[in-house]
Amino acid sequence: MTDPRILPLEGVENFRDYGGYAVGGGRVASGQLFRAAHQARATPADLQIMAALKLATLVDLRRPRERDNDPSLRHEGFAAQVIQCDLGDHAEAPHVAFLRETDLTPESARAFFLDYYDKAPFEPRHLELFGRYFAALAAGDGPVLIHCTAGKDRTGLLAALTHQVLGVHADDARADYLLTNVAARVEQRLPMITEALEKSLGKRPSATAVRAFLGVDASYLDAAFASITSRSGSVEAYLDGIGADAATREAIRAHLIV
């Protein structure tokens, strides 16, 4: 059965609502927080669905080269504030470099993601983007969409930080993160992605390896929060450091908890 959080778009993977969870004193509003992969292959029907969301803010976590390679499609009348960052210029995305330089195996994929999540919270471009995102949530102008390329790692980390701010139970936050393994249609896309990787890499990776690369694991998110705690002392101190201070977090809760 399809999870009701997942929006059944045709050309956009992993599009879903990450609100709606119970928190102390209420529930996170539904229809206000959305996450997704890139929208370069959105169909006209997809764009109509997105138009109906009445997005006020769209946060594009991708690097400039990623945005150039897969430019976002927009519906007619699109007027959302777009938050993006050009820090890093046109540097190659880490996952692209990994595929080019390393044999893709389940073990190498896991090692790559554990290392990536350890570093991701403190990447300068993420510090800027995350801070601007939380400022937008505090402003309470309307629904927000966050996305990267696959909608699973950068997006998953930012959604999990949002759940921390809102007081979502750790079990619910983790389940939401792991929903990528369903919403990204990993099994359905496996043959196509495997073939594409074989063509670009010159050798065919195993289905197990590709599955590991396309999906997420709870240990990755644990690595990110362990890094945050180790380097900042606490999630709250980390958020303070990117401008999402106590007053900002309280404003976010006031807007999003119903």
Backbone CA torsion sign across 166, 171, 175, 177: positive
What is the SS3 string spanning 25-75? CEEECCCCEEEECCCCCCCHHHHHHHHHCCCCEEEECCCHHHHHHCCCCCC
* Annotation marks residue 85 as catalytic: no
**Active-site position among 50, 148, 157, 173:** 148
Residue listed under structure tokens 């929006």: 7
Residue listed under structure tokens 């976010």: 252
Tokens representing residue 118 in the block: 């350890």
**Contact indicator for 104, 78 with CB cutoff of 8 Å:** no
DSSP letters spanning 88-134: TTTPPPHHHHHHHHS---HHHHHHHHHHHHHHGGG-HHHHHHHHHHH
The 3-state DSSP class for residue 22 equals: strand
**Contact indicator for 53, 34 with CB cutoff of 8 Å:** yes
Q: Is 246 exposed, middle or buried (0-12, 13-18, 19+ CB in 10 A)?
A: exposed
The Cα-based distances of 57 to 3, 33, 50, 146, 167 in angstroms read: 24, 10, 12, 8, 22
d(CA 255, CA 139): 8
Active site residues: 148
